[in-house]
Amino acid sequence: MNEIKDVIVIGGGQSGLACGYYLRRHKLKFLILDKEEKCGGAWLHAWDSLSLFSPAEHSSLPGWLMPKSENLFPLKQEVIDYLCQYEKRYELPIERSVTVENITFDNKVFKVYTNKGIYLSKAIIAAAGTWNNPYIPKINGIETFRGIQIHSAHYKIPEKFRNLNVLVVGEGNSGAQIVAEVSKVTTVKWSTRKPPQYLPDEVDGFYLFNVATAKYLAEKEGKPFNAANYDLGNIVMVPPVKEARSRGVLISNGSFESIYENGVIWSDGTKEDFDAIIWCTGFGFTTSFLKNIVSADERGIIKTEESRAAEIPGLWLAGYGSWTGYASATLIGINRNAKQTCNEIIEYLQKN
């Protein structure tokens, strides 16, 4: 641990692996620290039926295409298998069950404090993602609810909600997909702040990546951009969502004002009892371990220039989302993000 690495990557999921691929090509001394006990990253915690939004050939990390799936979109376990095989294929140096607690920076060296000791490095790539920082809004009365409350980060299978009266909250992809499968086993209502918006059936994750790329290039060149009126945040019509649409269950009941011990109070003042609330309300960003070297907002966003931290030299953030690079939180999008990040690190190390 006393050896000073060129780079330490924090997070062994898809973003950390993509960075590891390029660091290995540059023959740098690097180490990936992963909080998980085994390979697979955040996909280990996703609900069992989750799939990608695009085919395998358009969902690959740099260097090696994901094997084709029998399904249109690869399933959770297929993605986990791919990530596990990927790190073995490129012999990426990963230490697991390592939780990063704090980082300091002194005399051009980062000290990474973990549950397994202190690691030293000249540069850091934070690639811990979002899954460890689920967001639930602070709604009046939320602490009084006597039923089950769970965030989508901890949702696994619909059977646990069989015969319960369930409320799903959130108008994004996770909300639509969880409504789709829980509605097969019990009564579900869907609460959204605004009416759910859907992409055309033919639009998948690869299309969205291309749109994001075009938008990125246009903005860099100062040109206007029109994505054919497709909002990249709209719901992707994956097969389970299409099936739910055919059953007529994708109906929003609007928003509610507050929560009481047995359920919610809708915006019109009506009370309705629920046994369980599933929050599909997104995530913050897992960056709290950087609190002593950079400042972050309430969601964990840090000021960056692309993926380079603006406040301190030697720190990069990869795969967190649009603020670290367009589509960087996707399997295909992290490629460009990781390549640019590692090229910048090479330049930084040469100067320091």
Token pair of 306 as six digits? 């692309």
Q: What is the pLDDT of residue 52?
A: 87
Q: How many domains does the chain have?
A: 2
Whether 216 shows a pLDDT value over 60: the answer reads: no
The reply to whether 159 and 127 lie within a common domain is no
Out of 245, 260, 279, pick the residue that ends a domain. Answer: 279
Residue (of 22, 34, 55, 24) closest to 209 by Cα position: 55
- The structure's pTM equals 0.89
Token pair of 155 as six digits? 């949702």
The tokens 């829980």 sit on which residue?
182
Residue 213 resides in a domain: no
146-156 pLDDT per residue, tens: 999 999 999 99
Helix H, strand E, coil C: the string for the chain is: CCCEEEEEEECCCHHHHHHHHHHHHCCCCEEEEECCCCCCHHHHHCCCCCECCCCHHHCCCCCCCCCCCCCCCCEHHHHHHHHHHHHHHCCCCEEECCCEEEEEEECCEEEEEECCEEEEEEEEEECCCCCCCECCCCCCCHHHCCCEEEEHHHCCCHHHHCCCEEEEECCCHHHHHHHHHHCCCCEEEEECCCCCCECCCCCCHHHHHHHHHHHHHHHHCCCCCCCCCCCCCCECCCHHHHHHHHHCCCCECCCEEEEECCEEEECCCCEEECCEEEECCCECCCCHHHCCCCCECCCCCECEECCEECCCCCEEECCCCHHHCCCCCCCCCHHHHHHHHHHHHHHHHHHC
CA distances from 99 to 91, 95, 125, 133, 329 (A): 21, 10, 15, 14, 21
Q: How far apart are CA 58 and CA 85, in angstroms?
A: 18
Q: What is the CATH number of the domain that holds 186?
A: 3.50.50.60
Cβ atoms of 124 and 103 closer than 8 Å: yes
Residue 58 resides in a domain: yes
Residue 211 resides in a domain: no
Out of 245, 279, 313, pick the residue that ends a domain. Answer: 279
Whether 226 shows a pLDDT value over 80: the answer reads: no
Whether 2 shows a pLDDT value over 90: the answer reads: no
27: exposed, middle or buried (Cβ count in 10 Å: 0-12, 13-18, 19+): exposed
The reply to whether 185 and 273 lie within a common domain is yes
Residue 51 resides in a domain: yes
Q: What is the pLDDT of residue 352?
A: 86
Residue (of 59, 2, 7, 53) closest to 29 by Cα position: 7
The reply to whether 116 and 86 lie within a common domain is yes
Domain containing 174 equals 142-198+235-279
Chain-centre distance for alpha carbon 147: 28
320-330 pLDDT per residue, tens: 988 898 778 88
Residue 229 resides in a domain: no
The reply to whether 179 and 262 lie within a common domain is yes
Residue 94 resides in a domain: yes
Residue 230 resides in a domain: no
Average pLDDT over the chain reads 91
Q: By mean pLDDT, which of 126-130, 174-178, 201-205 is the weakest? A: 201-205
Q: What is the pLDDT of residue 158?
A: 97
| Residue 280 one-letter amino acid | C
Residue 88 resides in a domain: yes
The reply to whether 81 and 116 lie within a common domain is yes
The reply to whether 291 and 251 lie within a common domain is no
Considering only CA atoms, give the Rg of the chain.
21
Of the pLDDT bands very low, low, confident and very high (cuts 50, 70, 90), residue 340 is very high
Q: Which of 28-32, 202-206, 231-235 has maximum average pLDDT?
A: 28-32
The reply to whether 17 and 129 lie within a common domain is yes
Q: How far apart are CA 249 and CA 182, in angstroms?
A: 10
Out of 279, 310, 331, pick the residue that ends a domain. Answer: 279
